[in-house]
Structure 1
Amino acid sequence: MSESLSIRIIREHDYRFTVDFGEAFAALSADLPPPLGQADGPSPEHLLAAAVANCLSASLVFALRKFKQEPGKMETVVTCTTGRNEQNRIRVTGMEAVLNLGCPAENLEHLERILGQFEDFCTVSQSVQSGIPLTIHVEDSTGKRLK
């Protein structure tokens, strides 16, 4: 089964654009950082990092709930690194995601199995990973690295 979605990008001025999601969601402003833009909104790199973070977080919650587990208040941080390629063009050269569960690992059952499968549920990170190196870590609320 194939699905599609569309967004519209409307240039306001310089490098500032309105991202229009249609009637379902409020629009947001996107902009490039100086010296080209004014940083009046998230950059494309911010939006990419947000998409990866949101999809990974939702996928982990989905995997936990399959086993009737509740992660508590989770926090995910995605760091996006940029650099220049062989043609001296700026590219995203790597990403690192750290997902922090809102509870200690010992409060969750089937955690090893959950951690072994949740990434496969993430449409965005699995797609991005085919072109950008992505490292994913999961920690519990005590800071213990689980994956």
Structure 2
Amino acid sequence: MSEEGRFSIALEQREGYQVNVAFDWPQTPDLLLDGEPPLGECRGPNASRLLAAATADCLGASLLFCLFKDDPPAGCLRAEASCVMTRNAQKRLRIGQLEVRLIVTEAVTQSPRFGRCKDLFEEFCVVSASIRQGIPLVVTVEDEAGEVYYRSE
């Protein structure tokens, strides 16, 4: 598979289950992630909440770009994301379903492109399209010297 682009972010465990995320854009502030009790203290979103937010944001941005390209009107879209947590056969917690609601104003529904875009925008959301198809994942565990202890295939 060819790479169209690549980015890297850095995560560092701080205290307990709190993790600082440093993004690759210098103007973007760091983000604190945390688990929910009994592991964490909910001082930041956990990974499941971040995935739900990323999915809703991507879908909303895809719709706005299709409709308005570079100049969407302010305040014309809100989104709500719900994550249904389930347990698999091994009783491990998983994201069983994501539900995203895009709530739009008249500026969106009255756009001349709305009829076409409402049927097309999902195809251009990188996050939701990737989740639906499954994302190949390679996981490596190594020490600070670079010695690899584990690598998934």
Give the RMSD, CA atoms, in angstroms. Answer: 2.0
Name the counterpart of 1:136.
none
Distance 1:4 1:69, change over 3 A: closer
Listed one character per residue, the Cα deviations across residues 26-46 of structure 1 (whole Å, up to 9, x for unaligned) are: 101000000111111001011
Secondary structure of the 1:19 match is strand
Instruction: Please say if residues 71 and 102 of structure 1, whose CA atoms lie closer than 8 Å, have aligned partners that are also in contact.
Output: no
Q: Distance in 2 between matches of 1:64 and 1:16?
A: 39
Q: How many residues align?
A: 130
Name the counterpart of 2:149.
none
Instruction: Please say if residues 53 and 97 of structure 1, whose CA atoms lie closer than 8 Å, have aligned partners that are also in contact.
Output: yes
> Could you tell me the percent identity over the aligned residues?
35
User: Is 1:99 aligned with 2:102?
Assistant: yes
Equivalent position to 1:55, from 53, 58, 69: 58
TM-score, L = length of structure 1? 0.80
1:73-92 equivalent positions in 2, closer than 5 A: 73-92=76-95
Question: Which structure has the larger Rg over C-alpha atoms?
Answer: 2
Q: Distance in 1 between matches of 2:109 and 2:65?
A: 19
Q: Distance in 2 between matches of 1:106 and 1:41?
A: 34
Instruction: Please say if residues 76 and 107 of structure 2, whose CA atoms lie closer than 8 Å, have aligned partners that are also in contact.
Output: no
Name the counterpart of 1:28.
31
Gaps of 5+ in 1: 132-147
1:1-147 equivalent positions in 2, closer than 5 A: 2-22=4-24, 23-65=26-68, 72-103=75-106, 107-131=110-134
Distance 1:105 1:54, change over 3 A: closer
CA positional deviation for 1:92: 0.3
CA positional deviation for 1:24: 3.6
Name the counterpart of 1:144.
none
CA positional deviation for 1:83: 1.0
Tell me the amino acid that sits aligned with residue 87 of structure 1.
Answer: Q
Q: Distance in 1 between matches of 2:119 and 2:63?
A: 10
TM-score, L = length of structure 2? 0.77
Tell me the amino acid that sits aligned with residue 95 of structure 1.
Answer: L
Tell me the amino acid that sits aligned with residue 121 of structure 1.
Answer: F
Tell me the amino acid that sits aligned with residue 17 of structure 2.
Answer: Y
Secondary structure of the 1:25 match is coil
Distance 1:11 1:72, change over 3 A: closer
Distance 1:48 1:69, change over 3 A: closer
